[in-house]
Amino acid sequence: MSASTKKFNPTQFLSFKGPYKILHMTWFAFFLTFMAWFNMAPLAAAMKIDLGLTDGDLKVLMICNVALTIPARIIIGMLLDRFGPRKVFSGLLIVMSIPCFIFAVSNTMIQLVITRLLLGIIGAGFVIGIRMVAEWFPPKDVGEAEGIYGGFGNFGSAASAFTLPTIAVLATTWFGAEQGWRYSIGLTGAMCLIYGFIYYASVSDTPPGKTYHKPKRAGAMEVTSMPSLYGLIFMQVPMILALGLLVWKLHNFGFLPTQGAHIGYGALVSILIFQAYKAWTVNAPHIREGYSEGDKYEFRQVAILDLAYFVTFGSELAVVSMLPLFFKRTFDLSLAQAGMIAASFAFMNLFARPMGGFLSDRLGSRRKTLTFLLAGLAVGYFLMSRINSSWPIPLAVGATMLCSFFVQAGEGAVFAVVPLVKKRVTGQIAGMVGAYGNVGAVVLLTVFSFVTPDQFFLTISGCAIVCMIASMALKEPKGSFADAHHDEAAQNDAAVTGVTG
């Protein structure tokens, strides 16, 4: 039996051989990208004092930190399908260490903004491992493997919050300077740089003897019918609108003048038109020629997964941002106490996301599993909307952790389906779905700026209900629980690309 078809075996999880070695090395690469991506927030107070920044400056930098992640996930997905995860993940880690180092030595707001914008690209690293893991694990076990990859890797953000302030204090003690935050941020860059070379030397795109299938065309996601092409073009709109919201926020904070904001809006409209043009010119001629039934897939599948990740990962990013202050004000806690309680939401990633993948693998229907978890998410956020100062704190924490379980298990269930939709464009599908998670965060945080916390939680609950209904239209992927992806044999026979990893 090949490495790619062995059943996921918990007793071999720590063996560091075959697919398990790839899984561990890949989740750690993802872990490092999230450490670097979220390395500013825990050190923001020290940066503010050292550089004389204002609260508005910090808010601008936080926006810059996510601005390019949305388009980067789309672009990285295309590069991934074209060049393979080994080269793209290694290259991302190595190249992104450069803006990390520059950010660590920056002294002006312009330097900070430019390097923070560039560092947002590292947030696209998540997409790469989705396909790498899918290449090494069979469909029947891909949910659990992807859940472990996502859960452990996502924990990089929490690791930054817990370790970087301590490292900054130690650096200040050792080097006798008041700029320990620079050493902390520089360390995350050094870790990415070193591990990029280690990863390249230690992994391969596929198990021995297996072909790495590439898309038939480059320039836009490959779709196989005219309705799917229209759907692909339409689903570009929310991503452009989310970027427009970021431009609007930068204008409101006074960082972008009115003329600069107008230029930004015009550029986004131009990008949307260009994307629609590329999607049409890349796909329309081949759709008219026709695809065999076995080579077709429905973009509707991707759109439903986009919406599901919008409400799962999008709400996670949004809620983690506001939860400490919510608990502080609701229960009159100290910032430290509120932060520790709020951290329970993120800590669930280690358990809940793998559990979502596990349930998707074991319950016999990936569609029903996702629908169930989205329903639980809707109930969870409804419970959180009821939290007030009359609640016992343990009960409030329990409701928060219950909601967090469904949020992150839902994320695991989404990416248990993503690799099964269409193998040769898995990177692009993962890129779009991942980008919608960031779109969700931008949209939901914008909503939060206009409503009360209870209305905010109710809004997410309502979005989850809509997504739950939409998920009922999700088609069970072919060969969801097979030993090999359903389209691999056909692709091998047809020698679509003839290129190995």
Going by C-beta distance under 8 Å and a sequence separation of 6 or more, which residues neighbour residue 259?
Answer: none
Residue 499 within any structural domain of the chain: no
183 and 107 fall within a common domain: yes
What pLDDT, on a 0 to 100 scale, did the predictor assign at position 494? 42
Residue 332 within any structural domain of the chain: yes
Residue 34 within any structural domain of the chain: yes
CA 143 to chain centre: 16
Distance, in Å, from the CA atom of 82 to the CA atom of 216, rounded to the nearest integer, reads 10
Number of other residues whose CB lies within 10 A of the CB of residue 52: 9
CATH classification at residue 145: 1.20.1250.20
Low-confidence ranges of the chain (pLDDT < 70): 1-14, 176-178, 335, 483, 485-501
Distance, in Å, from the CA atom of 54 to the CA atom of 169, rounded to the nearest integer, reads 22
Name the DSSP letter for residue 496.
Answer: S
272 and 397 fall within a common domain: yes
381 and 252 fall within a common domain: yes
246 and 198 fall within a common domain: no
Q: Can you tell me whether residue 235 is helix, strand or coil?
A: coil
Q: Please report where in the chains the tokens 């936080």 appear, as a residue.
A: 62
What the block records as the tokens of 5 is 């078809």
93 and 232 fall within a common domain: no
229 and 179 fall within a common domain: no
Distance, in Å, from the CA atom of 134 to the CA atom of 222, rounded to the nearest integer, reads 19
Per-residue pLDDT tens over the stretch 172-221? 777 766 688 999 999 999 999 999 999 999 999 999 888 888 887 777 88
Residue 497 within any structural domain of the chain: no
Question: What is the percent of the chain where pLDDT is above 90?
Answer: 59
What pLDDT, on a 0 to 100 scale, did the predictor assign at position 271? 94
Backbone φ and ψ for 134, nearest 5 degrees, come out as -65, -30
135 and 222 fall within a common domain: no
59 and 187 fall within a common domain: yes
Residue 237 within any structural domain of the chain: yes
Contact 435, 378 (CB under 8 A): no
| Strand partners for 211 | 500
What pLDDT, on a 0 to 100 scale, did the predictor assign at position 492? 46
What predicted TM-score, i.e. pTM, was given to this entire model? 0.88
What pLDDT, on a 0 to 100 scale, did the predictor assign at position 177? 65
Residue 463 within any structural domain of the chain: yes
Residue 487 within any structural domain of the chain: no
Rg (CA), the chain: 22
Query: Domain count of the chain?
Result: 2
61 and 98 fall within a common domain: yes
Residue 393 within any structural domain of the chain: yes
- Print the domain residue range for 137: 16-203
150 and 272 fall within a common domain: no
227 and 145 fall within a common domain: no
SS3 of 290-319 = CCCHHHCCCHHHHHHHHHHHHHHHHHHHHH
Number of other residues whose CB lies within 10 A of the CB of residue 9: 11
Q: Which long-range contacts (CB under 8 A, 24 or more apart) does 490-499 make?
A: 490/294, 490/295, 491/211, 491/213, 491/423, 491/424, 492/211, 496/213, 496/214, 496/216, 496/424, 497/211, 497/213, 497/214, 497/424, 498/211, 499/211, 499/212, 499/214
282 and 182 fall within a common domain: no
Contact 424, 80 (CB under 8 A): no
